[in-house]
Chains A and B, each alone.
Chain A
Amino acid sequence: MYDHPSYDELTTGFSWSIAEKELDYSPGDVINIGWHCSDRICQKGKAGKIALYYEGFGGAVKSYTFNDIRLAGNTIGAFLRCQGITEGDRVCLFMDRIPELYLSFLGILKIGAIVQPLFSAFGEESLFVRLENAGTKAVITQKKHLSKVRKIRSRLPDLELVIIVDNIKPSELEPGEILFSLENTEPVEKFELCPTRAETHSLLHYTSGTTGQPKGVKHVHYSIVSQYLTTKWVLDLHDDDIYWCTADPGWVTGTSYGIIGPWSLGVTQCVLDTGFSAQTWYKFIERYRVTVWYSAPTAIRSLMKAGDDLVNEFDLSSLRHLASVGEPLNSEAVIWSGRVFGKQFHDTFWQTETGSIMITNFPGMKIKPGSMGRTFPGITGAVLDPVTFNPIEEPGKAGLIAFRPGWPAMMRTYWKNEEKYREKFVNGWYLSGDRSSIDHEGYYWFIGRDDDVINTGGHLVSPFEVESALLEHPAVGESAVTSKPDEINMEVVKAFITLKPGFSASPDLELEIMNFIRKKLSPLAMPQAVEFMDRLPKTRSGKIMRRVLHAREWGEEIGDISTLEND
């Protein structure tokens, strides 16, 4: 057990220079995330320490020291350079949670290129939109995902190279494809690091909004400053910890706290690349003696559903600190975890755009089940009046969650969408798009999104993206998408459609449409229910009134329907 400073002790005299000094960084120096997560740790005498324990489906087990990941980063970086990848090029990682994903992350950053991680379950349309927008030059993928890339390749003039890291015979490669096997490549010891600086572009993560296509969020190498310190103070990682972040690096949690945070601290982490099973998860914690576990409310609720008895079949006594991210953690889950694990999950709040934890429960600090906690030191937060955009002083009154700009990991822009980026800042505040209240002790209480974006299983899905994809199905006349409540995922996608002449509503057509979206976009975006309607609720000017459908699904007051088109 460790002593934890009080919130006042953390915040008094706080400066981000605390993290800069610990990272041996001074303004103006070269700063490179890939180097800080590997070479620097080796220089600190931890070359032989395990950086990564990997376990895949079927019992595949691998381990890597910090020296191994340093060399792997060099080797992959050198390979990419040989293939003509240079500073500023976007390189997409489109893989399952295999070691090559984590190691390529380092290699891409070490040559000054930009990492674009994408969730491997994305369908070809979701993949196309993101690669096209980014002007991606290379994709690193696995054979199992190659067909999706091949289907869209001809529509991506910027995509020059597809690199396959496993199980493909040279005779199966098509033009512009190359096999790279880390195991069969001579490790590169001497490597020229790209001298990236604080504001050099490092990552491009895509996030969904209410309208328009997904936006590429630009992060820079200086983001490591807040990622490092929040990992240390919120996730409470110490040198002898074994850490497990369950998030996929296709999402920002999986990079900020699944790679950068733990490795910049020189902490051992483990990665499990299988589907969800409560038994498998508990066995994994027991086997590796996981001490710090960072997971998500959807997974926690699935574990609750699996039952308390199962927990008792495993020795989980190694667990020291638990944290949660992605969506608000309901109080029942906090109380449950305290009962079955002897430790409560600490909710944390942040976003793709913020790059690091903004509001959180701290180790050693009183948790109020259902609250997101308090702002991290160095972060000035408020809830704003939605009309004046001035801070609300009254405790308990709802407003828009906002932060004063300027923390290290704040996004620098939306890729090729400076206008949308500027819209995020009003009256000197960054608007998160979420609503909450703040109580008299400074604890934030989440209320909901300020827009129509659906947060399902901790991932944002754009209704617009799903509606657009639905319209491509031959049977669909009009579409509207909203969320509906779900016990495990908090909310899931529901589609309302009208049919074109010649088509009839049926359970088989519902299934066909569900599968159509699942394959085109992703399993997350797949409507979990499709309701056929004669017509969608619209205003007299023809705009679909999603909020009427939303209110119906959630049992809420529909509100003003004076503009609703009459029957």
Chain B
Amino acid sequence: MEENNLKEMKDMILTYVTKEYIDDDDVTLTYETPLISSGYVDSFSMVSLLVFLENKFKIKIPPSKATPEAFDSVNNIVALVNQYLNK
């Protein structure tokens, strides 16, 4: 994937996660911030993040791949999404 597209994807996901899951204005997420293991996004909320990704990128992620580890950072999420783009 081109670098520009990759950055765009990361920023889109970062913006979405910040808007939807972070209440505290003092928290600034990065591409590497652990999202699940930090508790910012709990395991129940992961489902809504999965639905967002599938809707946004028109992909289908198998439940077995939608693990806490795969969702634990924006970088991890982008790596997961890329596996299913253009499939």
Residues of A within 8 A of B (CB): 57-58, 96, 121, 143-145, 147-148, 167, 273-277, 280, 302, 305, 456-457, 488-489, 492, 507-508, 510-511, 514-515, 518, 523-524, 526, 528
Contact = CB atoms under 8 A, between A and B. Distances in A.
8 contacts: A143-B26, A275-B36, A275-B38, A277-B69, A457-B43, A457-B44, A507-B51, A511-B52
Nearest to A147: B23
Chain B contact patch, size range: 20 to 34
A511 B69 CA distance: 22
B74 interface: no
A511 B20 CA distance: 11
B36 to A, nearest CB: 5
A274 B20 CA distance: 19
Interface in B27-47: 27, 34-45, 47
Nearest to A517: B48
A213 B35 CA distance: 32
Contact of A144 (B24, B51, B55, B69): B24
Given A277-B69, A507-B54, A518-B45, A143 B36 contact: no
Contacts of B43: 275-276, 302, 457, 488
Contacts of B34: 57, 275
A277 B36 contact: yes
B23 A523 contact: no
A275 B40 CA distance: 8
Contacts, number: 80
Given A515-B20, A515-B48, A524-B44, A167 B26 contact: yes
A302 B24 CA distance: 28
Contacts of B37: 57, 274-277, 280
Which has the most chain B C-beta neighbours within 10 Å: A274, A275, A492, A528? A275
Interface of B: 20, 23-24, 26-27, 34-45, 47-48, 51-52, 54-55, 67-69, 72
Judged by DSSP, the binding face of B is loop
Nearest to A507: B55
A275 B42 contact: yes
Contacts of B38: 57-58, 274-275
A526 B36 contact: no
B51 A514 contact: yes
A96 B39 contact: yes
A148 B41 CA distance: 17
A143 B24 contact: yes
Most chain A Cβ neighbours within 10 Å, of B27, B39, B67, B72: B39
B68 A523 contact: no
B24 to A, nearest CB: 4
A306 to B, nearest CB: 8
B76 to A, nearest CB: 12
B51 to A, nearest CB: 5
A280 B69 CA distance: 11
Contact of B41 (A58, A275, A277): A275
Nearest to B35: A275
Contacts of B40: 275
A143 B24 CA distance: 7
Contacts of A280: 37
Contact of B39 (A57, A148, A492): A57
Nearest to A142: B24
B39 A511 contact: no
Contacts of A518: 44-45, 48
Nearest to B44: A523
A145 B52 CA distance: 24
A273 to B, nearest CB: 7
Most B C-beta atoms less than 10 A away, residue of A276, A305, A510, A523:
A523
A514 B47 CA distance: 9
B71 to A, nearest CB: 10
**Most A Cβ at <10 Å: residue of B20, B44, B54:** B44
A526 B44 contact: yes
B85 to A, nearest CB: 17
Given A143-B26, A514-B51, A275 B45 contact: no
